Amino acid sequence: MKNIIITGGAGFIGSHVVRLFVNKYPDYHIINVDKLTYAGNLANLKDIENKPNYTFVKADICDFETIMGIFKKYKVDGVIHLAAESHVDRSIKDPFTFAQTNVMGTLSMLQAAKLTWESLPEKWEGKRFYHISTDEVYGALEMTDPEGIEPPFTTKASSGKHHLAYGSKFFTEDLKYMPHSPYSASKASSDHFVRAFHDTYGMPTIVTNCSNNYGPYQFPEKLIPLFINNIRHRKPLPVYGKGENVRDWLYVEDHARAIDLIFHKGTIAETYNIGGFNEWKNIDIIKVVINTVDRLLGRKEGEDMNLITYVTDRAGHDMRYAIDSRKLQRELGWEPSLQFEEGIEKTVRWYLDNQEWMDNITSGEYEKYYESMYANR
């Protein structure tokens, strides 16, 4: 029996990790600790909420006393820490909340784990603190014409027609951190605290830095679910700048599989980059999404291209992210399983089939926030 806290389990990625662990490991007790901010949604976990090996605790990771209480009550052996403020645009408007949750919240989790585990006779034995982070901590990569640049890696997932590298440099685990947005600065800081707890106290920690995720249950402020919903309702699609920025996209269940593998087999104190081997310009993704939504809704493919609306660029908008995750491939045998076109088809289908999930979010408070975010763009 292992007792594992997953923080942020009611969010996008967290809900996939909770579902995977609860279903795959009936002998583990999964304790989902989530504050249920605007981004936390228990509807993401409806299918597993009554499983005997699952407990939900509504708590703020910054509330150290409460977190200590949870560690004591559940005799926690491991932590998979995902709770965070995660949206760059929000961090530009309100950096304080990002420092509070992402830095102080992570520190509170670390300190509770330390005080609890240090007081046990077995100390760190069999314990693990796994921190989930982002590739955005590395900053932005330069961008060149992909013509003539062979991506240095090929996988089943990247063997499709679109297998491009928009530059010759990639994020590797040994790169210096160069965060630009308040979001990535707060995540970088939290990564440093996690490593400091290993180096100072000997806590068994692991950090992973992953590229952009997409898939079911993503909050519709992020590019892909926002645009799917806007196309459905024939609302404008706000493309920042020229739409030329490049992101490396990974299907969320592939990330959850990597987390499972690394939690069990990863080497303590190591960092692993997790990526999709899958670089796309925003504008190219947007076109794929428009075509897919149109087709699945029985509209003429491409009919909604006129919704594309170029708006003022995001402040400090990072040009290109591209992950080199060959370390994880080599050492633990992980690879993304889906080609991007397959992943997008599954994702669009899911959002169209789960309109109630989307409507519950987009009606009410969120609608007002969204209007105010975009009012002056």
Residues 6+ apart with CB under 8 A from 259: 17, 20, 80, 130, 132, 208
Q: Cα separation of 33 and 53, whole Å? A: 14
Size of the site for ligand NAD (CB under 6 A): 31
Residue 282 interface partner, choices ligand NAD, ligand TYD, none, CB cut-off 5-8 Å depending on type: ligand TYD
- At what angle are helices 355-362 and 365-375 packed, to 10 degrees? 70
Residues 352-371: x/- map of binding to ligand NAD (CB under 6 A)? --------------------
Nearest approach, Cβ of 95 to ligand NAD (angstroms)?
15
Residue 105 interface partner, choices ligand NAD, ligand TYD, none, CB cut-off 5-8 Å depending on type: ligand NAD
Q: Cα separation of 51 and 26, whole Å? A: 9
Q: Which helix (H) or strand (E) holds 93?
A: helix 88-93
Both tokens of residue 319? 């040009």
Residue 213: which of 347, 31, 69, 52 has the closest Cα?
Answer: 347
Residue 11 interface partner, choices ligand TYD, ligand NAD, none, CB cut-off 5-8 Å depending on type: ligand NAD
Q: Which residues are catalytic?
A: 135-136, 183
Among 21, 71, 124, 219, binds ligand NAD (CB under 6 A): 219
Any contact of residue 213 with ligand NAD (CB under 6 A)? yes
Residue 39: which of 220, 254, 182 has the closest Cα?
Answer: 220
Residues 6+ apart with CB under 8 A from 233: none
Any contact of residue 12 with ligand NAD (CB under 6 A)? yes
Any contact of residue 238 with ligand NAD (CB under 6 A)? no
Any contact of residue 62 with ligand NAD (CB under 6 A)? yes
Nearer to ligand TYD, 135 or 324 (CB): 135
Among 18, 40, 277, 294, binds ligand NAD (CB under 6 A): 40
Q: Cα separation of 129 and 97, whole Å? A: 23
Residue 35 interface partner, choices ligand TYD, ligand NAD, none, CB cut-off 5-8 Å depending on type: ligand NAD
Question: By CB under 6 A, which span of 206-214, 257-265, 280-288, 315-323 interacts with ligand NAD?
Answer: 206-214
101: DSSP letter: I
What is each CA distance from 74 to 28, 79, 122, 189, 242, in whole angstroms? 12, 12, 17, 28, 50
Nearest approach, Cβ of 87 to ligand TYD (angstroms)?
6
Q: Cα separation of 369 and 366, whole Å? A: 5
Q: Cα separation of 245 and 345, whole Å? A: 22
What is each CA distance from 233 to 121, 239, 300, 368, 377, in whole angstroms? 59, 17, 15, 17, 20
Question: By CB under 6 A, which span of 21-29, 54-62, 279-287, 342-350 interacts with ligand NAD?
Answer: 54-62
Residue 238 interface partner, choices ligand NAD, ligand TYD, none, CB cut-off 5-8 Å depending on type: ligand TYD
Q: Can you spell out the DSSP letters for 199-223?
A: HHH---EEEEEE-EEESTT--TTSH
> Tell me, what amino acid is at 129?
F
Nearest approach, Cβ of 245 to ligand TYD (angstroms)?
4
Paired with 30 in beta bridges are: 4, 54
Residues 82-111: x/- map of binding to ligand NAD (CB under 6 A)? xxxxx--------------x---x------
Residues 133-172: x/- map of binding to ligand NAD (CB under 6 A)? xx--------------------------------------
Residues contributing to the site for ligand NAD (CB under 6 A)? 7-8, 10-14, 34-37, 39-40, 60-62, 82-86, 101, 105, 132-134, 187, 210, 212-213, 219
